[in-house]
A = this chain, B = another copy of it.
Amino acid sequence: MEQLLANVFPCQVHWGDCDPAGIIFYPTYFRWMDAASWALFEKVGYDPKRMREEHRAMPLVSADCQFLAPARHGDRCEVRSRIARFGGKSFVVAHDIVRADGTELAKGSETRVWGVYESGPGSPMKGETITDALKAFFRER
């Protein structure tokens, strides 16, 4: 089985990312996963500027996360992301969130549509078939 390209998105737990329990407020992980998915696509050539110019976005179908260990203010982390599966017009991104000391903090996934705005940002989006050419970008080289 071929190996798919992974991307590493560095991040850090900031003061405002934490709650009164002194640990990360969990929606922060989803904010990170979203940014990490954009970074994964940037790695294969679909940077924000190009996505904008081609009127593309990646709306969500679903998202989930398991929280394995609590993170605290100041923790340096990375989100390791890879395409877990390609569907016809959708795809699944798997994310592992790991602290600098090697502790896995959380693991999650997002199912997204490869979308195009019908008429520019702000207009409805429709899914576009994911071509073999696009898939090929994610193969480890």
Contact between B20 and A18, CB atoms less than 8 A apart: yes
Q: Fill in one digit per residue for A48-79: 1 if any B CB lies within 8 Å of its CB, else 0.
A: 11001000010111111111001011100000
Q: Which of B19, B26, B49, B120 contacts A120 (CB 8 A)?
A: B120
Count chain A residues whose beta carbon lies closer than 8 angstroms to a beta carbon of B: 44
Q: A137 at the A/B interface (Cβ < 8 Å)?
A: no
Taken together, the copies of this chain in the complex come to: 4
When distances are taken between beta carbons in the complex, the residues of chain B under 8 Å from A25 are: 15-16, 34
Q: How far is the CA of A27 from the CA of B28 in the complex (A)?
A: 8
Q: A31 at the A/B interface (Cβ < 8 Å)?
A: yes
Interface centre among A38, A72, A122, by most B CB within 10 Å?
A122
When distances are taken between beta carbons in the complex, the residues of chain B under 8 Å from A57 are: 20-21
Q: How far is the CA of A38 from the CA of B20 in the complex (A)?
A: 13
Contact between B122 and A42, CB atoms less than 8 A apart: no
With CB as the reference atom, state the residue of chain B lying closest to A30: B27
Given contacts A14-B35, A20-B20, contact A62 B67 (CB under 8 A): yes
**Could you write out 8 A-B pairs with CB less than 8 Å apart?**
A16-B25, A21-B117, A21-B125, A22-B121, A27-B28, A52-B72, A52-B73, A59-B70
